[in-house]
Structure 1
Amino acid sequence: MKKLVNDPSLVVREMLEGIARTVPHVAVLGDENVLVRNPLPGAAARTVAVISGGGSGHEPAHGGYVGQGMLSAAVCGEVFTSPSTDAVLAAIRASAGPNGALLVVKNYTGDRLNFGLAAELARAEGIPVEIVVVADDVSLRGHTERNQRRGIAGTVLVHKIAGAAAARGDALDLVAAIARSAAANLGTMGVALDGCTLPGAEQAGFRLADDEIELGMGIHGEKGVERTTPMTASELTQTLLASIVEDLALKSGERVALLVNGLGATPTMELAIVMRDAFESLSQRDVVVERAWTGTFLSALNMPGCSISVLRLDDARLALLDAKTEAHAWPGVGTVNRQIRIEPAFPAAHTRAEAGATPADPASVAWTRRLKPALDAVAHALIENEALFTDLDSRAGDGDLGASMHRAAQAILAVPQGALDSPGSALAALSTTLRRAIAGSSGPFYATALLRASRTLGDTAQPGAQDWAAAMRGAAEAISELGGAKPGDRTMLDALVPAADALENALKSGRPVAEAWAQAVSAAESGAKSTERMTPRAGRASYLGARAIGTPDGGAVVVACWLKALQPHIGAG
Structure 2
Amino acid sequence: MSDVKTKKLINEPEDIVAEAIEGMVLAYPDMLSLEGATGRAVVALDGPRDGKVGLVTGGGSGHEPLFAGYVGRGLMDAAAVGNVFASPSPEHIMDAARAVDGGAGVMFLYGNYTGDVLNFDMAVEECRENGIEARSIAVNDDVASAPAESAEERRGVAGNFFVFKVAGAAAEEGRSLKDCEAAARNALSRTRSMGVALSACSLPQTGKLNFEIGHDEMEVGMGIHGEPGMRRGTLKKADDVADELIDTILNDIKLSQGDSVSVLVNGLGATGQLELFILYRRVAKRLKDIGVSIHKSWVGEYATSLEMAGASISLMKMDDDLKKLLDAPCQSPCLTVAGALAPRGKHTLRMAKAAADVATIDRSQLIGDGAVTPDVFRDAMLAVAQVITDKRDWLSELDGVIGDGDHGVTMDIGWSAVRDALADVGDETISQISNRMAKAFLDAVGASTGPLYSSAFKAAGAKVENRLNLDASAMVDWIDGICSGIVSRGGAKLGDKTMIDAWSPAVEQARQALNGGADLIACLDAACIGAKKGRDHTAELESKRGRSKKLGERSIGHVDPGAASAHVMLVAMKDSIKNTI
Give TM-score, length-normalised by structure 2: 0.56
Match of 2:174 in 1: 169
How do 1:407-486 and structure 2 match up within 5 A?
A: none
Match of 2:135 among 116, 130, 136: 130
| 1:331 positional shift | 4.7
Map of 2:503 onto structure 1: none
Following superposition, the deviation at residue 102 of structure 1 comes to 0.9
Q: CA deviation at 1:133?
A: 1.5
Look up the equivalent residue of 1:156 and give its one-letter code: F
2:145–2:221 contact (8 Å) kept in structure 1 = yes
1:305 pairs, out of 310, 317, 325, with: 310
What SS is found at the alignment partner of 1:61? coil
- TM-fit CA distance, 1:46: 4.1
5 Å matches for 1:61-80? Answer: 61-80=66-85
Give structure 1 stretches of 5+ with no counterpart. Answer: 335-573
Q: Deviations over 1:225-263 (max 9, x none)?
A: 110001111110010000111111111211100000000
Per the alignment, residue 36 of structure 1 pairs with 43
CA contact (8 A) 2:48 2:77 kept: no
DSSP 3-state at the match of 2:102: coil
| Aligned residue among 141, 145, 148 for 2:153 | 148
SS of the residue 2:287 aligns to: helix
Secondary structure at the residue paired with 1:113? helix
Match of 2:200 in 1: 195
Q: What 5-or-longer segments of structure 2 have no aligned partner?
A: 1-5, 340-581
Specify the SS of the correspondent of 1:280.
helix
Q: Structure 2 vs 1, CA of residues 108 and 294 (structure 1 numbering), >3 Å: closer, same or farther?
A: same
One of 286, 290, 309 as aligned partner of 2:291: 286
AA of the residue aligned to 2:91? D
- Give the aligned residue type for 1:210: H
The corresponding residue for 1:25 is 31
In structure 1, distance between residues paired with 2:318 and 2:201:
33
Does the 8 Å CA contact 1:137/1:188 hold for their aligned counterparts? yes
Match of 1:220 in 2: 225
Q: Cα deviations across residues 309-349 of structure 1 (Å, max 9, x unaligned)?
A: 00000111011111111112015379xxxxxxxxxxxxxxx
* Match of residue 322, structure 1, among 327, 336, 361: 327
Measure the CA separation in 2 of the matches of 1:12 and 1:202. Answer: 16
Structure 1 residue aligned with 2:116:
111
Deviations 1:507-561, CA, capped at 9 Å, x for gaps:
xxxxxxxxxxxxxxxxxxxxxxxxxxxxxxxxxxxxxxxxxxxxxxxxxxxxxxx
Residue pair 1:321, 1:333 contacting (<8 A) in 2 also = no
User: Per-residue displacement from partner, 1:131-163 (whole Å, max 9, x unpaired)?
Assistant: 112100001243870000100001111000000
In 1, the alpha carbon distance for the partners of 2:202 and 2:148 equals 28
Contact 2:146 2:153 (8 Å CA) reproduced = no
Deviation (angstroms), 1:202? 2.8
Q: Which amino acid in structure 2 is aligned with residue 36 of structure 1?
A: V
Q: Aligned equivalents of 2:207 and 2:304: distance in 1?
A: 20
Amino acid paired to 2:45: N
Q: Which one-letter code corresponds to 1:305 in the other structure?
A: G
Whether 2:300 is the aligned partner of 1:295: answer yes
CA contact (8 A) 2:61 2:86 kept: yes
Q: Which residue of 1 aligns with 2:501?
A: none
Residues 241-390 of structure 1 mapped to structure 2, 5 A cutoff = 241-332=246-337
Q: Tell me: CA distance 1:268–1:40, structure 2 relative to 1, closer, same or farther (3 Å).
A: closer
Tell me if the contact between 1:262 and 1:295 (Cα under 8 Å) persists in the aligned partners.
yes
Distance (Å, rounded) in 2 between the aligned partners of 1:215 and 1:144? 20
User: Could you say what secondary structure the match of 2:99 adopts?
Assistant: helix
Cα drift, residue 40 of structure 1:
5.2
Q: 1:29-59 deviations in whole A, cap 9, x for unaligned?
A: 24331100125555xx241111111111000
Q: Is the 8 A contact 1:190 1:305 kept in 2?
A: yes
Q: CA deviation at 1:272?
A: 0.9
Helix, strand or coil for the counterpart of 1:311? strand
How many aligned residue pairs are there?
Answer: 332
SS at match of 1:258: strand
Greater gyration radius:
1
Tell me how far apart the structure 1 counterparts of residues 149 and 91 of structure 2 sit (CA, whole Å).
Answer: 31
SS at match of 2:281: helix
Letter in structure 2 aligned against 1:25:
M
What SS is found at the alignment partner of 2:331?
Answer: coil
Q: Secondary structure at the match of 2:337?
A: coil
CA-to-aligned-CA distance 1:174-201 (integer Å, 9 cap, x gap): 0001101110111000000010011132
1:467 corresponds to: none
Residues 18 and 332 of structure 1, relative CA distance in 2, 3 Å threshold: same
Secondary structure in 2 matching 1:151: coil
The one-letter amino acid of 2:279's match is: V
Following the alignment from structure 2 to structure 1, what is the Cα–Cα distance between the partners of residues 149 and 25? Answer: 39
Q: Say if 2:55 and 2:106, in contact at 8 Å, map to a contact too.
A: yes
Cα deviation, residue 103, structure 1: 0.5
- Structure of higher RCO (CA pairs closer than 8 Å, 6+ residues apart): 2
SS in structure 2 of the partner of residue 9 of structure 1: helix
What is the one-letter code of the residue matched to 1:15? A
Distance 1:183 1:283 in 2: 23
CA contact (8 A) 2:46 2:72 kept: no
CA deviations on 1:399-436 (whole Å, 9 max, x unpaired) are xxxxxxxxxxxxxxxxxxxxxxxxxxxxxxxxxxxxxx
How many angstroms apart in 2 are the aligned matches of 1:202 and 1:217?
20
Per-residue deviation at 1:281?
1.0
**Distance in 1 between the 2:337 and 2:123 partners?**
32
Following TM superposition, by how much is the alpha carbon of 1:221 offset from its aligned partner in structure 2, in angstroms? 1.2
Distance in 2 separating the partners of 1:248 and 1:153: 16
- Native 8 Å contact 1:262 1:299 kept in 2: yes
Query: Secondary structure of 2:167's match?
Result: helix
Find the residue that maps to 1:145 and give its secondary structure: helix
Distance 1:287 1:141, change over 3 A: farther
How far apart are the structure 1 equivalents of 2:15 and 2:95? 20
- In structure 2, relative to structure 1, the CA distance for the partners of 1:183 and 1:104 (3 Å cut) is same
Find the aligned partners of 1:148 and 1:168 in 2 and give their Cα distance: 31
